[in-house]
Amino acid sequence: MTHEADMDMRLDSQVIPKRASFKYPGSIIHDNGEIDDDVIHRIGTGWMKWKLALSVLCDKNIPLRLNGKFYRVVIRPTTLYVAECWPVKKSHFQKMKVVEMRMLKWMYRHTRRDKIRNEDIRDMVGVVSVHDKIREVRLRWFRHVNRRDTTALVRRCERLAVGDMRRGRGKPKKS
């Protein structure tokens, strides 16, 4: 019996080399299922969009609420692209939260020395937390999947039974 790791991928007669990760449009896919590089990549694309719009976002003549709307419409979707499919850990949420607060504080010309709470800044901008936004897009994706026919591949995974899998002993690890 051969394992998946021992098999060679071939295209015609040419062997395709094995890689630990590869870029798929919009994300980075790892062989072990981790998303650390993907989260960092999405944060980087969010910063790129931020830097492109910096002259608009930091303009004192534009109302702050309008800047907040621009952030919600352009920058946040870039950062959270395909987040509904991510197996997110607490560390990923923390990274996303830090990046978002840096952008919002920069937009409002505040620093940590001003000692303004993150919730207050979010209220001024009209932005919900990253955790709540990811929950919202996951629920939207779940409703989309539930509308599909029960014979569709994505719906058949709901009834997938994994055989001979045992849980490890002890307390579950934090994710």
What is the pLDDT, as a whole number, of residue 60? 85
User: Structurally, how many domains does the chain consist of?
Assistant: 1
99-154 pLDDT, tens digit per residue, is 999 999 998 888 888 989 999 999 988 899 999 999 999 999 999 888 989 888 88
What is the pLDDT, as a whole number, of residue 169? 84
Task: Report how far residue 91's alpha carbon sits from residue 110's, in angstroms, rounded to the nearest whole number.
Answer: 25
Q: Amino acid identity of 119?
A: E
Q: Is residue 110 part of a domain?
A: yes
61-106 pLDDT, tens digit per residue, is 888 888 889 999 999 999 999 888 888 899 999 999 999 999 999 9
Q: Is residue 7 part of a domain?
A: no
Most confident of 7-11, 56-60, 117-121, 162-166: 117-121
Q: Is residue 83 part of a domain?
A: yes
Q: Is residue 18 part of a domain?
A: no
Q: Is residue 89 part of a domain?
A: yes
Q: Is residue 140 part of a domain?
A: yes
Q: Is residue 123 part of a domain?
A: yes
What is the span of the domain harbouring residue 53?
Answer: 34-156
Write down the pTM of the prediction.
Answer: 0.75
What is the pLDDT, as a whole number, of residue 140? 92
Q: Is residue 88 part of a domain?
A: yes
